[in-house]
Structure 1
Amino acid sequence: MLRVIVLGAAAGGGVPQWNCGCPVCRAAFDDPRLARTQASLAISADNAHWFLINASPDLRQQIIATPQLHPRAGALRHSPIAGVILTNGEVDAVAGLLSMREGSPFSIYAHDKVLAILRANSIFNVLNESIVARRPVATDQPFEPVLPDGALSGLQIMAFEVPGKRAWYLEGQAHPGGDSQSGDTLGLTITDKSTGQSLHVLTACARVTDDLKARLAGAPLLLFDGTVWRDDELIAAGVGTKTGQAMGHIAMAGDDGAIAALADLGIGQKLFVHINNSNPALLAHSAERGQLETAGWQIPADGTEVTL
């Protein structure tokens, strides 16, 4: 059985963001039920060994809040986390790796360009490569991640190119992984080999192409980039100077937004993740939340588990 736990559903900064007084953050400071940690997922085919999709800066907090990720009872040192699969090199996808530096074996799976970012920053050397293997992922070539003892996980993962951009902290700088436009933003198709059930994860996506529609059509479960409600949201709210597109994220709403672009594709469950604190759809009784729920989408709380 394929299991996925939404460890966190927010974009960088979380909800509430520590220094933000926007309407959503104000509401979340007053009502902890609105709070969301930064986006990360956990997946498993056997409910015993788990792989993380991205390692958010809130990872330690997320592990503590998730019993499935706790050390085994009676073990002095143990973790059910067998690996981390990175879909990009943004801070909110990789910073949590530094919370996993205490010597437990696991593997990091990422595109060569993202692995190059880790190599270029010596702080990630706290993850001893003799214990924490770094395994390159090629696009459109399925692979089966392994457990720390080398056994197969029962999961098949296919990484694929998604319209996006390089990490913002690399803008105007030479990319450690070279100038190729590929590899900075990946989507994942994750399949339980024993049941054939699969899901798609796209925590960042700048636009929905016809090829992407064909890939996602009929999927039983989709977790998709929900960063902003409207493209100019941060500018209109006075909390930023970039559009969603400039940051590599499609808006939820609008004629070219995710809700419209992914309608009528026969997708079963549709969950938005990586939701920015500026997004009014985070408010349960907002008009925006009503519109997305009417369209068949959900905004998950941290800790939401879905099984296939």
Structure 2
Amino acid sequence: MWMRVLGSAAGGGFPQWNCSCPTCRAVRSGERPGQARTQSSIAVSADYRRWFLFNASPDIRAQIESFPALHPRDDRATPLEAVLLTDAELDHTLGLLLLREGRGLRLHTTGSAHQTLCEGSALLPTLERYCPVEWQEVVPGADVPLGAGLSYRAFDVPTKKRARFGHGSRQGRVVGYRLTDERSGRALVYLPGVQQLTAEVRAQMDDCACLLIDGTCWRDDEMVRLGLASKTARDMGHLPIDGPGGSLELVSPLPIERKIYIHINNTNPILLDDAPERRIVEERGMEVAMDGLEVEV
């Protein structure tokens, strides 16, 4: 299977339009090496012809245009088969509205996320005014054939993050995906948002060949130190990279071929190519995703 990183940054992208934190300033001025990034999303295919989109960011149009494999082949037929959501956050769902010109949309979400999109943000009722939406409920723990030689198993990712639109205590509010190539048996795990690596979440990583994992913040108190927020990374639903119990300590020893940080906040110093934090990550066998990264799993 092939995986293409369409966007590697957290909500707001990098640099973020209203932020002048050290990393945003550095990349804008060219003072230090680093690349701009769009908001988090990946595309996956078993045959490089039919593609499945995981999360639909507000940057989806530019992301599709940057990847010829997603361009329409004739008339308005596209290789995009379906969209699968990890949650109902705006930075993962606003792009659905930009897909309204399509002939129809196949959408995989949990019941919790679907309820939020219908009754909370009202995004789906708006989208359905423009195009038909075929909804398939994502049930954590169930193995589901996607077609084109792929299957997935969603798994619940517990979070205590405050729900903006209600339904915050329901199972399936945030999920990860384990994707399997049915021919080779090789698996990829997509986990852009995780607050705690529980035993159940860790079990989904077993024997996977590629892991894309939440890299939102370097420190737990990163946003607090910069005076940009009063909440820690964990308060916002994200496990920090550094520190005791951080993802670097827990994930770097795992025997996974490719371990890649994605969903990286604009404040995170690993976005700068020459940052000491980037060097630490790479010395521990981890990678930092960038837009356009392509992996054959």
TM-score range, shorter chain: over 0.9
Q: CA 1:11–1:167 in 2, change beyond 3 Å: closer, same or farther?
A: farther
Unaligned segments of structure 1, at least 5 residues: 146-151
Q: Distance in 2 between matches of 1:39 and 1:164?
A: 19
1:115-168 Cα distance to aligned partner (Å, 9 max, x none): 1112114443343387320111101001112xxxxxx33211000011324565
| Structure 1 CA distance for aligned equivalents of residues 161 and 174 of structure 2 | 7
| Residues 80-119 of structure 1 aligned to structure 2 (within 5 Å) | 80-119=79-118
What is the percent sequence identity of the aligned residues?
40
Could you report, residue by residue, the CA deviation over 1:141-197 in whole angstroms, capped at 9, with x for unpaired residues?
Answer: 01112xxxxxx3321100001132456523xxx42xxx6431111011001112211
Shift of 1:294: 0.5
Q: Matches of 1:182 and 1:141 in 2, distance apart?
A: 14
| 1:273 matched to 2:262 | yes
CA distance in 1, matches of 2:41, 2:139: 21
* Structure 2: gaps of 5 or more residues: none
Distance in 2, Cα, partners of 1:208 & 1:199: 17
**Contact 2:9–2:39 (CA under 8 A) maintained in structure 1:** yes
- 8 Å contact 2:34–2:271 — kept in the other structure? no
Q: Which residue of 2 aligns with 1:216?
A: 205
Aligned counterparts of 1:269 and 1:117: Cα–Cα separation in 2? 33
Deviation of 1:21 (Å): 0.6
2:152 partner amino acid? I
3-state DSSP class of the match of 1:124?
helix
Counterpart of 2:242 (choices 253, 278, 282) is: 253
Secondary structure of the structure 1 residue equivalent to 2:204: helix
**Alignment check: 8 A CA contact 1:82 1:105 kept:** no
Amino acid at match of 1:127: L
Q: How many residues align?
A: 293
Q: TM-score, normalised by structure 2?
A: 0.94
What is the correspondence of 1:219-234 to structure 2 with a 5 Å cutoff?
Answer: 219-234=208-223
Letter in 2 for 1:62: Q
**Contact conserved, 2:34 with 2:272, CA < 8 A, in 1?**
no
In the TM superposition, 1:124-135 aligns within 5 A as 124-128=124-128, 131-135=132-136
1:166 and 1:185 in contact (8 A); partners too: no
For 1:59 and 1:128, how far apart are their aligned partners in 2?
18
- Structure 2 partner of 1:55: 56
Q: Does the alignment pair 1:67 with 2:68?
A: yes
Q: Secondary structure at the match of 1:228?
A: coil
Listed one character per residue, the Cα deviations across residues 53-73 of structure 1 (whole Å, up to 9, x for unaligned) are: 10111111111111111111x
Of 259, 278, 294, the match for 1:289: 278
CA distance in 2, matches of 1:213, 1:77: 41
